[in-house]
Structure 1
Amino acid sequence: MRVAPEVGGPGTPGLLDGRHRLTTVGLLLLVTLVAFESMAVATAMPTAVTELDGLAWFGWPFTAFLVAQVVGMVVGGDVGDRRGARAGLLAGVAVFAVGLLACGLAADMALFVAGRAVQGFGGGLISVALYVAIGQAYDASLRPRLFGATAAAWVLPALVGPLVAGALTTSVGWRWVFLGLLPLVLVGLCLVLPALRDLTVPADPPPARVARRWWALLAGLGVGALQYAGQRLDLLGAVLAVVGLTALAAGLRPLLPRGTVRARRGLPTVVAARGLLAGSFFGMDALLPLTLSAVHGYSPTAAGIPLTAGAVGWAAASQVQGRYAGASRVQLLRLGFVLLAVGLAGTAVTAVPGVGGWPAYLTWALAGLGMGLGMPSVGVLLLAQSPEHRRGADSAALNIADVTASALCIGLTGVLVAAATAGLLPMRGVLVVVAAVYAALAVAGAVVAGRAAAPVAAAAPAGATTLAGP
């Protein structure tokens, strides 16, 4: 693959020039905030669910967050196309903070899961608003560098997030992992306000798409029903599985580009690739700290280090791809899938008796490298193929694929953990099964990655594709 490094000069626009400085700083602050939450909460989660007597429901706090994100993303896409990025960013940060407070004060597992759902809705608003803001405020030549910068904003949280979370969990309790983020939320909101003033409001907004929110809720309920069905070994579980699959398929049909399931060339494959990347990576990411703690006896701090290694690898690869404007996004996407598949398969080595958990520190860094090449490439491809008047809806579709696939895969992980808790499967076996399934998904992504390029003969941008069904 031959690529040309991005060149610049005194007159070349940059991420921190006078036009973009405030917006860039504001967006990176929000990304840093979400990164701290993700890295710290994942590390503290095993202790939290154990103290709340909810180990058998280990997957639900993750799934509740992701399912609520689906609704938040649809609402955020509608708000972005009609009112611009400002409204979504402000509302998202406020709701996210309320969710942190609810989790930190939760007295039982039900309240904890509800708090995670509130966080998820706020996170959905933020994630779509970020894409709308990037598409609105930055030229195509700057977008790879900005996606690289957003990944770099994960480095500090990745380095200190698990360590701080582990220390807080051990010394003063897991609740402060949530409550301690609230001051950061307030500071980030204050600092991002000047940047929001530079983002314009659409002059001719499309009509509201209220029905899409109900379809999003239906899809989210389908995910929840599937996970609950997986925890039952009776007739009711089988019925719930059928109902869940039906609800999920019906809910996603109006929300994703036509042809997503078949990986049709152009935007549908871009959206499908995002789902395959996120599902395979985060399905294992949710399991690693618990496995290292339960199988190898690692402390909360030591069990969170692979998450740090993965995030550092992600950030490093994102920086590399951002330096080359001439790079083929399709080739980078395919290479990302290959690295992710190798990292997932290699992580299964930690299940071998006598080996220990240390290989996960290396293999998960490799998986992070794959994500660092693949995820920015998906974002660049989406913005290149989506017209401005549909950018909110298309960004929502991209993030919905991410969240739905993550929820399903993390839900599968939770089901297997519940089986291990009931004595039906050893934890080492859970790790092997999870690694095999998600590595296969990554291989499938590498196979279809070539279809992510825009159709050559298309008369209009692929983003204009109607969202009638997968």
Structure 2
Amino acid sequence: MAALMALLAFESLAVTTAMPVIAEDLNGLALYSMAFAGTLAASVVGMVVAGQASDRGGLARPLWAGLALFIAGLVIAGTAVWMPVLVLGRLVQGLGSGALSVILYVMVARVYPLALRPKIFAAFAAAWVVPALIGPFIAGLVVEHLHWRWVFFGAIMLALPAAFMIRGAANRSQIDIAEVKARTPADHVKVLLAIAASASVVLLHFGGQQTGVVAIIALAVGIAGLVMVVPRLLPHGTVTASPGIPAAIALRAVAGAGFTVAEVFLPLLLIRERGLTPGMAGLVLTAAALTWSTGSWLRGRSSTGHQRYLAWGSAAIAVAIIAAALPLWPHIPIFVAVIGWAVGGLGMGLVYPTLSLLTLELSPVSQQGANSSALQLAEALSTATFLAVTGFAFALLITATPVAAYLACFGLAVLLALVSMWIARRVLAAPSPVTVGAATATEPG
């Protein structure tokens, strides 16, 4: 499992490092944020389908299906000669990565007892260490001395060995027949809702790149689609951050979106505005990935203190995003962003495992797939939506007023981080029962 997590970590860090050069090479700066938002939007569909498949039995079939889509997306992106084609590859890749991420979470619940789960999530974080140490820097060197396409092709070479290493655990993860959740019409509806949500995010980004009536229609349909669909995909109360599971899912969505929006634009700022090479800019991401692993290791040493870790972690994320934006001004040393972003990684390392533990602790076996899916698809939808918003603002402002373009993006990220600090206080407030899909999960009392 750690091997597959390491693969996902390497791919994420490497592509983030290389994307500024890719966008310039394919003349696709206007689609820069869509290369990330599209992946996240498509991952929502993969998460829902994999979550349902997991609750109906074993994990082997969704594992191999997710892997096939992930590799297909890498091939399309690696061979793209036009930015829209690269975005298409990232969409296909997102379907696969969304499925794989849910499968890993459910596998933890199926294979390991409750007492060992904090250590397993800490091991997941540790799986980021080697990719964090070498991924961004190697990706930068590959971009500088070979070609950015090898960032995608290299990930393909790692994918199959990583999957074969966990095939045994996947085969052992079949749940008892009495706990199998039968397929219902509601499952089909949820898949359609996930597709509609993903399409709405893509429409938001498309509308942001257009003008006139086309822009108005695309933006209106995208916003309306998200307003109608998202509340039906997530547990009741998630949008209002009701205490318990809904607040945990909302915190994952808001904190993850704030951090990712800043992380997407930070390498672009350092390379385009401060003149760093891709390799050097990648080292900033390395610092955060290492501290993220450290935070998860610290969190793995205890199965209690959830509220404390959530509060500290959320505050660290807010501080980090502010620090990451400061190098916009030439007189601010770049090391301020490096240190600040490392603090943000530590915060994420405290928050994410805590939310994962809470979600699994609250979920009956037959709902572990659905709840793990909800936790991750909320983050994916939130992040993709806010990337579409910042992508529109960035494309609108970057030519005339570059500072304003970056400030709009980082400013929204800071706002999201501040909201996450408020939500963190509600996760373990007085709980109430919540409905997840067609079933009911009881929060801790």
Which residue number in structure 1 is paired with residue 313 of structure 2? 336
What amino acid is aligned across from residue 98 of structure 1 in structure 2? A
**SS of residue matched to 1:337:** helix
In the alignment, which residue of structure 2 is the partner of 1:392? 369
1:286 aligns with 2:261: no
Residue 113 of structure 2 aligns to a residue whose secondary structure is coil
Q: Judging changes above 3 Å, is the alpha-carbon distance between structure 1 residues 102 and 454 closer, same or farther for their aligned structure 2 residues?
A: same
Q: How far has the Cα of 1:277 moved from its partner?
A: 1.4
Distance between the aligned counterparts of 2:10 and 2:370, measured in 1? 27
1:136 aligns with 2:110: yes
For the pair 1:302 / 2:284, whether they are aligned, the reply is no
Asked if 2 retains the 8 angstrom alpha-carbon contact of 1:336 and 1:372, the reply is yes
- Contact 1:387 1:461 (8 Å CA) reproduced: no
Structure 2 Cα separation of the partners of residues 294 and 432 of structure 1: 15
Q: Which residue of 2 aligns with 1:264?
A: 242
CA distance in structure 1 between the partners assigned to 2:376 and 2:436 by the alignment: 19
Which residue in the other structure is 1:432 paired with?
407
Select the structure that is richer in helix: 2
Structure 1 residues 48-87: aligned runs within 5 Å: 48-87=22-61
8 A Cα contact 2:236 2:434, kept in partner: no
Does the alignment pair 1:99 with 2:73?
yes
**Aligned partner (choices 98, 109, 130) of residue 124 of structure 1:** 98
Where does residue 47 of structure 1 map in the other structure?
21
Q: Deviations over 1:47-66 (max 9, x none)?
A: 11211111121112111111
The equivalences for 1:414-433 within 5 A come to 414-421=391-398, 423-426=399-402, 428-433=403-408
Which whole-Å deviations, capped at 9, do the CAs of 1:391-444 have from their partners, x for residues lacking one?
Answer: 1111111111110111122223322331244x2431x32333322222221121
Amino acid at match of 1:287: F
Letter in structure 2 aligned against 1:115 = G
**Which of 224, 240, 244 matches 2:202?**
224
CA–CA separation in structure 1 for the residues paired with 2:83 and 2:412: 29
Shift in Å at residue 339 of structure 1?
A: 0.6
- Whether 2:357 is the aligned partner of 1:380: answer yes
Quote how far apart the aligned CAs of 1:318 are. Answer: 0.6
Q: What secondary structure is seen at the aligned counterpart in 2 of 1:142?
A: helix
Cα distance in structure 2, aligned partners of 1:457 and 1:291: 44
SS of aligned partner of 1:106: coil
CA distance in 1, matches of 2:216, 2:401: 20
- Of 346, 349, 355, which aligns to 1:369? 346
Determine the structure 2 residue equivalent to 1:20. none
Instruction: Give the distance between the partners of 1:33 and 1:166, measured in 2 at CA.
Output: 17
Give the equivalent residue in structure 1 for 2:302.
Answer: 324
Tell me the distance in 1 between the aligned counterparts of 2:72 and 2:424: 39
Counterpart of 1:16? none
1:31 and 1:197 map into 2 onto residues whose CA distance is: 18
Runs of 5+ in structure 2 lacking a partner? none
**Distance in 1 between residues matched to 2:166 and 2:226, nearest whole Å:** 36
Which residue is equivalent to 2:215?
A: 237
**Which has the higher mean CA deviation after the structures are superposed, 299-308 or 230-239?**
230-239
Distance 1:462 1:183 in 2: 38
| CA displacement at 1:356 relative to structure 2 | 4.1
One-letter code of the match for 2:221?
A: V
The question of whether the paired residues in 2 share the 8 Å contact of 1:82 and 1:202 is answered with: no
Q: Could you say if the C-alpha distance between residues 42 and 280 of structure 1 is closer, same or farther in structure 2, counting changes exceeding 3 Å?
A: same
Alpha-carbon deviations, 1:295-352, whole Å to 9, x = none? 1111111111111111111111110111123x31122112111110111112221112
Give me the whole-angstrom Cα distance separating, in 1, the residues matched to 2:156 and 2:432. 50
Equivalence map 1:177-216=2 (5 Å): 177-204=151-178, 205-208=180-183, 209-216=187-194
Shift of 1:142: 1.5
SS of the equivalent of 1:465 reads strand
The structure 1 segments of at least 4 consecutive aligned residues displaced by more than 6 Å after TM superposition are: 459-463
Partner residue, 1:359: 336
TM-score by length of 1: 0.89
Letter in 2 for 1:430: A
Return 452-461 or 80-89, whichever deviates more.
452-461
Compared with structure 1, are the counterparts of its residues 354 and 183 closer, same or farther at alpha carbon in structure 2 (3 Å cutoff)?
same
**How far apart, CA to CA, are the structure 1 residues paired with 2:74 and 2:432?**
48
What one-letter code is carried by the residue in structure 2 that aligns with 1:269?
A: A
* Whole-angstrom CA distance in 1 between matches of 2:435 and 2:332: 54
- The code of the aligned residue for 1:383 comes to L
Contact 1:455 1:462 in 2 (8 A): no
Q: Could you say which residue in structure 1 is the equivalent of 2:421? A: 446
Kept after mapping to 1: 8 A contact 2:261/2:383: yes
Residue type of the alignment partner of 2:193: W
RMSD: 2.1
Task: Give the % identical residues.
Answer: 35
1:252-293 alpha-carbon deviations (Å, 9 max, x no partner): 122100111111111111110110111000001110111111
Deviates more, 1:39-48 or 1:140-149: 140-149
- Residue 460 (structure 1) shift: 11
